Amino acid sequence: MQEVTIKKDNKIKLDTIFHSSLNPKFIFLPIKKGYDLLVEDNDYVYKNDKVLVSPLGSNIYSSISGRVLGIKEMTYFNGSTTTSLVIENDFKENIRKRCGARKYINNYTKEEFFDTLKKVSLHYKGNDTVSKIKKIESSFIVNCVELEPYFGNKYFILKKHIEEVLETIDLIDKITGNNKVLFVIKNNESELINELMNILGTYPNIELKLINDAYPNGRDEVLKKYFKLDLAQVIDVEEIYNIYEILKRGKPVTEKFITITGNAVNPSCIIKVKMGSLLSEIFTSHFDFTSKNVDVYINGLLGGELVHTLKYVVDSNIDGILIMEHTEIEKEACINCGICSKCCPMGLNPKYVFDHEGRVKPIYYEKCLQCGLCNYVCPSNIDLKSCMKGCRKNEKGIE
């Protein structure tokens, strides 16, 4: 794999002022297969109420208080249109029972730790965090590397909550048996590096690891390869912070940070939002386009997708929106340079898929990360990423 330094527009800067959008008119919660509704139309729900439950005990919670309106088909960024529970906000933030914050989290027993996380059904980007932690054996990686250019969610969490993050990592380390912990950040984040060097002496099992500010560093699979820890579990720093909030305050995760940035939007910032909100409502309430003709990417220019609507429901799969002035890109014929295969972090050959589109067996392309690096490096501007994605649906063809 060849690391690639992404050329950035240095005029794009994130606002240093913290923003929030915590008053959506409605929230939408997916009714996943096997989940049972615990509420009916016109029922009143409180913030943090359990509204959906699965036979395995996984729960979905309301991020607001208000009235149940019914169900509606809604679109999520994982590509699915899902029947969703609709709750109208009464803007009162009513809670059934207010719990005081726990003074320290480092006195959780192993049983208390897992019971607390299981109770609130902590999932992150489709993965069960509890199951991941239980699989930790000799080491785990804390991923603090921002994957997409211009995004800053992870950096923001570390700047604002570094002590909480380290306290939680130390607890996970203790719970899982005093492992080797690799705390990975970019090597150009000098301010954070200096702060960590002053703190990490009190956490002997946490080892600071620096990685180049290059793409696709930040992908879990890439980090495991880079540090030669193929069996290690990778936990995102946002997951760590979510665990802290659950253990500290005893409530489910109903809010998250996203970045909204680019050269065609104002302001450019990190904003805290409610899970279940509509991206379109967040944008129209707090942001403006600064150009008439724009390209909008959910989750960034490389690993994200160009979209023509913002009517997506916010869940843990959404990290942000990149809004750029529109540029015309002219596609040309492949020149057989081979750069795409040299740069692929999984050792695949996107050109092979392009040449045999529709005739490639899943065994070949199923390792594709959809990182978009092949698109970025292609001198002919061929949309190789879409070729790889399209082939995932094909079940016939050649080896």
**Phi, then psi, of 250 in degrees rounded to 5:** 65, 35
Q: What is the pLDDT along the chain (399 residues), one digit of tens a residue?
A: 678 999 999 999 999 888 999 999 999 999 988 899 999 999 999 999 999 998 877 789 999 999 999 999 999 997 789 999 999 999 999 999 887 889 899 999 999 999 999 888 788 888 889 999 999 988 999 999 999 999 999 999 999 999 999 999 999 999 999 788 999 999 999 999 999 999 999 999 999 999 999 999 999 999 999 999 999 999 999 999 999 999 999 889 999 999 999 999 999 999 999 999 999 999 999 999 999 999 999 999 999 999 999 999 999 999 999 999 999 989 999 999 999 999 999 999 999 888 887 777 777 778 889 999 999 999 999 999 988 876 555 444 433
- What span, in angstroms and rounded, lies between the C-alpha atoms of 187 and 195? 13
- What span, in angstroms and rounded, lies between the C-alpha atoms of 249 and 259? 25
Listed in sequence order, the residues at least 6 apart from 131 whose beta carbon sits closer than 8 Å to its beta carbon are: none
**Exposure of 52 in the CB half-sphere (CA atoms within 13 A):** 20
Which domains are assigned to the chain? 23-89 (2.40.50), 110-249 (3.40.50.11540), 253-325 (3.10.20.600), 339-391 (no CATH)
